[in-house]
């Protein structure tokens, strides 16, 4: 290999499970001298778990988590957290949802106050008509403010297009909740999320001192969820149809084409190689869940150049399937990912989320080292195998956006038309 690589032990993150009967899984990762404590929740349910008729519920519950705690007229969680000097964040993706809170810690009671607050949120999250209406409007506003013009408005269209084809591996997590979503549906989603939860407390914390507070906050609040089926490639909804172009008129100045492949989930041995290919391709995104995921490449430009974009991407994939990424490209993608992992090691919040992800994947809380080891040992042959197995050009689903007044499908040889 052309670049000296560190040992995987450099990513070691000591953490331990705390056994509390009838509680969500809790991990404690003490870091004396940190001066702060982060509480990071991760829930193993996201957009891909939701029915098309009620999409966006996980994202809606994420927002509800920062609202009133205990009663509709009670202070918001963020208001109470602010009184402790803390900050919060939340996110929703295709596979998971999570939120976090971080407070400064100068005395043991500061850590206990955060544990108590998280326990009250866990037990008393308010989900009623007023809360749902309020947070639904905030979700819409958030989406409107973060849309990437001019192509951001294509996201709902692409979601609907893929849903109509029965392909849940490409549901966008931040689509606005459906108008038909009810309080009962949001409450049901919260119950599902509760049974798939992990809490990681990392930073300035004494496990022995905080265990009684954790027991008081969470004991007896959950019942184990029975094992749920996991969609695999080959199951309905995890395979694309024949490659085809779907188009529509759009008020944009240039065209955009999207090539999508279903790929195996996060625990599959080819996942690291697929992530390396996605990095190398530039502009690609990879979403890998417990079951099937997706690798999407987007290209933009003048409409009549779309066929060149598609042809170049398909040729690149065919070349990787034949020869693998060259050693120099493997080195660059490897170093980029190891750099990202090193940043995670350096960030208490991100490290805590990674530990939660390890627990959800039924691995030890300290699995960053395993991830680093997989990247350190990545080689061109692994990328060749992954591309040949999952990314053959004829296995793609091609989606395209049409500029104004275009009446014809783009000239992309070898790919059939779909009606729009």
Reported as a single tens digit per residue, the pLDDT across 135-179 is 888 887 777 665 554 455 666 666 666 555 555 566 666 666 666
Kindly compute the dihedral angle of the four CA atoms of residues 88, 92, 95, 101, in this order, to the nearest 10 degrees: 10
The closest alpha carbon to 55, from 193, 231, 178, belongs to: 178
Is residue 174 domain-shared with residue 274, that is, in the same domain? no
Domain end position, chosen among 184, 218, 252: 218
| 285 vs 232: CA distance, rounded Å | 20
Q: Which residues contact 312 (CB under 8 A, 6 or more apart)?
A: none
What is the mean pLDDT, run by run of 10 residues, along the chain of 420 residues? 70 85 92 95 84 78 94 94 96 89 95 96 94 86 62 62 58 65 90 93 94 93 75 76 72 77 87 95 83 84 81 92 96 92 85 90 84 93 96 81 66 64
Model pLDDT for residues 186-239, shown as the tens digit of each residue: 999 999 899 899 999 999 999 999 999 999 999 988 876 677 777 788 777 677
Name the pTM for this structure: 0.87
Which range of residues forms the domain containing residue 354? 244-417
C-alpha 68 chain-centroid distance = 26
Helix axes 207-218, 108-124, angle to 10 degrees: 20
| 294 vs 239: CA distance, rounded Å | 10
Q: Is 76 helix (H, G, I), strand (E, B) or coil?
A: strand
Q: Which residues contact 396 (CB under 8 A, 6 or more apart)?
A: 240, 243, 259, 260, 261, 314
Q: Tabulate helix, strand, coil % of the chain (nearest 5).
A: 45, 20, 35
For residue 275, the surrounding DSSP H or E stretch is helix 271-281
Residue 229 within a domain: no
Is residue 207 domain-shared with residue 267, that is, in the same domain? no
Is residue 28 domain-shared with residue 152, that is, in the same domain? yes
Is residue 49 domain-shared with residue 124, that is, in the same domain? yes
Distances (CA, A) of 82 to 77, 88, 117, 205, 214: 8, 9, 11, 20, 21
Is residue 43 domain-shared with residue 120, that is, in the same domain? yes
Domain of residue 212, CATH code: 3.30.830.10
Residue 375 within a domain: yes
Domains contained in the chain, number: 2
């Amino acid at each position: 290999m052309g670049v000296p690589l560190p040992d995987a032990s450099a990513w070691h993150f000591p953490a331990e499970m705390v056994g509390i009967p009838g509680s969500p899984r809790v991990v404690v990762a003490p870091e004396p001298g940190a001066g702060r404590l982060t509480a990071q929740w991760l829930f193993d349910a996201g957009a891909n778990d939701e029915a098309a008729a009620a999409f966006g519920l996980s994202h809606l519950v994420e927002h509800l988590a920062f609202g009133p705690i205990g009663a509709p007229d009670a202070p918001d969680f963020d208001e109470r957290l602010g009184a402790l000097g803390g900050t919060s964040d939340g996110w929703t993706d295709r596979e998971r949802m999570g939120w976090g809170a971080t407070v400064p810690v100068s005395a043991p009671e500061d850590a206990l106050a955060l544990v108590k607050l998280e326990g009250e949120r866990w037990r008393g999250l308010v989900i009623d008509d007023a809360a749902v209406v309020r947070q639904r409007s905030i979700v819409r506003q958030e989406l409107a403010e973060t849309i990437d013009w001019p192509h951001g408005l294509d996201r709902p269209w692409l979601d609907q297009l893929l849903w109509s084809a029965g392909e849940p591996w490409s549901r966008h997590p931040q689509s606005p909740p459906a108008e038909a979503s009810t309080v009962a549906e949001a409450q049901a989603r919260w119950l599902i999320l509760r049974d798939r939860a992990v809490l990681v407390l990392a930073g300035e914390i004494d496990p022995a001192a905080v265990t009684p507070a954790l027991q008081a906050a969470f004991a007896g609040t959950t019942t184990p969820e029975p094992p749920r089926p996991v969609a695999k490639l080959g199951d309905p909804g995890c395979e694309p149809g024949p490659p085809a172009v779907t188009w529509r008129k759009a008020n944009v100045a240039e065209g955009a084409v999207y090539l999508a492949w279903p790929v195996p989930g996060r625990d599959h041995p080819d996942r690291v190689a697929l992530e390396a290919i996605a990095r190398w391709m530039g502009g690609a995104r990879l979403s890998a869940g417990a079951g099937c995921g997706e690798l999407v490449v987007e290209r933009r430009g003048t409409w009549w150049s779309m066929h060149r974009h598609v042809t170049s991407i398909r040729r690149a994939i065919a070349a990787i399937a034949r020869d693998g990424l060259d050693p120099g490209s493997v080195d660059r993608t490897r170093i980029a990912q190891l750099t990202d992992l090193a940043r995670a090691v350096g960030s208490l919040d991100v490290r805590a989320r990674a530990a939660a992800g390890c627990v959800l994947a039924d691995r030890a809380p300290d699995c960053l080292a395993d991830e680093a080891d997989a990247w350190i040992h990545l080689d061109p042959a692994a990328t060749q195998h992954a591309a040949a197995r999952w990314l053959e050009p004829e296995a793609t689903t091609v989606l395209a956006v049409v500029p104004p007044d275009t009446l014809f499908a783009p000239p992309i040889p070898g790919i059939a038309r779909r009606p729009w």
